[in-house]
Structure 1
Amino acid sequence: MRHQILAAAVALPLVLGASPASAAQPGAHYAALGDSYAAGVAAGSYDKASGDCHRSARSYPALWAAEHHPAAFLSVACSGAATQHVIRDQLPRVPADSTLVTLTVGGNDLDFATAAAACLQPLTTDARCDRALDESERLLREELPGNLEQTYRAVSAAAPAARVVVTGYPHLLETGTTCWVGTDARRARFNALTDRLDELIQRQADKQGFRFADVRSPFSGHGVCARSGEEWITRIVLTSIWESFHPTPEGQARGYLPNVSAAAAE
């Protein structure tokens, strides 16, 4: 997710494909797809060649590749990507012989960045937050189910022999704490929307025969406003606003990577 997002869904033809078959092996051909959470925004160590996609050497795909030494590794994840961008811009670059594909997408389809700005910045109002979350919930009900189904079928068609692991999103915020980032009620509603998003992603992944990596549990207690102070989500970054509310290097390494690795090895 980033500060400027193309949230409008684009009608694209469904592409039917076979279910993934093979497991990730040491000689895997690995392709990573998705949005800023897969690119590693806010983790630093960006590949200059990736430009505004801001792909990081500390992202969970890069960490998995460094740990498992696949025969081939390609990340085309990009900040701001929604499902339409995965289909249009990323999948054409995925080798047909890929044996492992990971994907994090869906947040930008709900305009999460706008909701975060409306709910979590200082001086914003409850009415503004409610309007933004109402719209995100509408998109989740009316548009995202079809967008995810279309995307997952396209992934299967592009890499028919691949094991596909799709990830959810963590709770960005802790509740029950005194914190200047939003009100407790706003944080709770934002997390509830994340739960509904993750549940939808998991249902659609199960239908397509994909593995689902649920990262909410490892991130629990490490969101913004954590009592421990050990936050794995960045707060508002004024000097690079596009990094706000994204996983830190610790969040990528300890929140995303273990669950993705486990799902890839099943």
Structure 2
Amino acid sequence: MRNALCAGLAVALAAVVPAVPAQALPAYQNYVALGDSFTAGPLIPEQRADPAGCRRSSANYSSLLAGLLVTRSAVDASCSGADTTHLTQPQELADGSNRPQLDALRPETDLVTVGLGVNDYNLFQRIVDTCPALRPQHPTGAPCRAYFTVNGTDTLRGIITQTEQNLTDGLRQVRERAPRAKVLAVGYPRVVPSSGFCGSILPFADGDYAWVAELEQALNDAIADAAADSGSSYVDVHGPSLGHDACAQPGSAWVNGDLSRDDAARYHPVPAGMQGVSGVIFDHLRRG
């Protein structure tokens, strides 16, 4: 299954990233992926059972990237719901637990991708649980932004500031555990469009779209700063995902909205999104 997906991705890659000479790509042999559900890929077929509670797909971006790189070994330690604390602490699941993600690293590890940050202090869950519920109060206003603004301060922006330090510390620990590795801090794709609305897919109030977009940009900026401060490399997924948000035309979206699907969780990457992100990372590595 993975070989077929990678073959299809290789054909489509030219549509996602510009051509770069193949010889520019360094050889990576021992790859480890760390991350949350945007790495793991809940509901994307085929789901793995190691452990099942992590809702980890065999066709997520790390699996596709490992196929493109033809690595000797690839370990996917990502788990849905993970935050930066789960780099060093086990993550309790409904049935069992996921080991601390840093345990997957070895001295011979030469490539690590880290996709974390959106779950620290329940940032992501606060938005998707609260904003749709507040939309009926003021469908054309920004009731969610108002809800999270206390005494003139956007409390979610404060969370992102704290998350940046958490991620900086986490990335430093990754580099200590795998000193030979190239460490990539992977950003998040767009969920909301740069303009316009799609209330049937993203049930936010019209004025909250721009605010959520600002939060998405702020989080990706924080990841980029954490990468710089820790000596890691930032992979910008936010920019390349322009036009691939949840409101995009069917087949173009990289993320699902508030829709029930068999192949993607609500507000999470769809299979095309995993292909898109793996292509962005592959291109980042080719460009050095």
Answer yes or no: same fold by TM over 0.5: yes
User: Is the Cα–Cα contact under 8 Å of residues 118 and 128 in structure 1 kept in the other structure?
Assistant: yes
Partner of 1:236: helix, strand, or coil? coil
User: Is the Cα–Cα contact under 8 Å of residues 81 and 105 in structure 1 kept in the other structure?
Assistant: yes
- Please say if 1:116 is aligned against 2:117: no
Equivalent residue runs for 1:76-91 within 5 Å: 76-88=77-89, 89-91=100-102
Per-residue CA deviations over 1:205-236 (Å, capped at 9, x if unaligned) read 01222111111232211212226773221122
Q: Which residue of 2 aligns with 1:262?
A: 283
TM-score normalised over the length of structure 1:
0.82
Partner of 1:216: helix, strand, or coil? coil
Q: Distance in 1 between matches of 2:239 and 2:129?
A: 25
Aligned AA for 2:112? V
Q: Which residue of 2 aligns with 1:68?
A: 69
- Please say if 1:217 is aligned against 2:218: no
User: Is the Cα–Cα contact under 8 Å of residues 29 and 98 in structure 1 kept in the other structure?
Assistant: yes
Name stretches of at least 5 consecutive residues in structure 1 with no aligned partner: 1-22
- Coordinate RMSD, CA, aligned: 2.4
Q: Distance in 2 between matches of 1:131 and 1:96?
A: 47
User: Is the Cα–Cα contact under 8 Å of residues 225 and 231 in structure 1 kept in the other structure?
Assistant: yes
User: Is the Cα–Cα contact under 8 Å of residues 24 and 99 in structure 1 kept in the other structure?
Assistant: no
Q: Distance in 1 between matches of 2:25 and 2:135?
A: 48
Aligned AA for 2:124? F
- Please say if 1:31 is aligned against 2:32: yes
Partner of 2:234: helix, strand, or coil? strand
Name stretches of at least 5 consecutive residues in structure 2 with no aligned partner: 1-23, 90-99
Aligned AA for 1:61? S
Task: Indicate how the Cα distance of structure 1 residues 83 and 150 shifts in structure 2: closer, same or farther if over 3 A, else same.
Answer: same
Task: Indicate how the Cα distance of structure 1 residues 24 and 30 shifts in structure 2: closer, same or farther if over 3 A, else same.
Answer: farther
Q: Distance in 1 between matches of 2:175 and 2:87?
A: 13
User: Is the Cα–Cα contact under 8 Å of residues 118 and 132 in structure 1 kept in the other structure?
Assistant: no
Q: How far apart are residue 109 of structure 1 and its match?
A: 0.9
Q: Which residue of 2 aligns with 1:151?
A: 170
The farther-off stretch of 213-222 and 30-39 is 213-222
The farther-off stretch of 225-234 and 119-128 is 119-128
Aligned AA for 1:137? R
Q: Distance in 2 between matches of 1:132 and 1:86?
A: 28
- Please say if 1:58 is aligned against 2:70: no
- Please say if 1:184 is aligned against 2:206: yes
TM-score normalised over the length of structure 2:
0.76
User: Is the Cα–Cα contact under 8 Å of residues 251 and 272 in structure 2 kept in the other structure?
Assistant: no
Task: Indicate how the Cα distance of structure 1 residues 84 and 124 shifts in structure 2: closer, same or farther if over 3 A, else same.
Answer: farther
Q: Which residue of 2 aligns with 1:140?
A: 160
Q: How far apart are residue 48 of structure 1 and its match?
A: 2.2
User: Is the Cα–Cα contact under 8 Å of residues 115 and 129 in structure 1 kept in the other structure?
Assistant: no
Q: How far apart are residue 239 of structure 1 and its match?
A: 7.6
Q: How far apart are residue 189 of structure 1 and its match?
A: 0.6
Q: Distance in 2 between matches of 1:151 and 1:124?
A: 39
Aligned AA for 1:264? L
Task: Indicate how the Cα distance of structure 1 residues 164 and 24 shifts in structure 2: closer, same or farther if over 3 A, else same.
Answer: farther
Task: Indicate how the Cα distance of structure 1 residues 130 and 57 shifts in structure 2: closer, same or farther if over 3 A, else same.
Answer: farther
Aligned AA for 2:126? T
Larger relative contact order, structure 1 or 2 (CA cutoff 8 Å, min sep 6): 1
The farther-off stretch of 256-265 and 194-203 is 256-265
Q: How far apart are residue 26 of structure 1 and its match?
A: 3.4
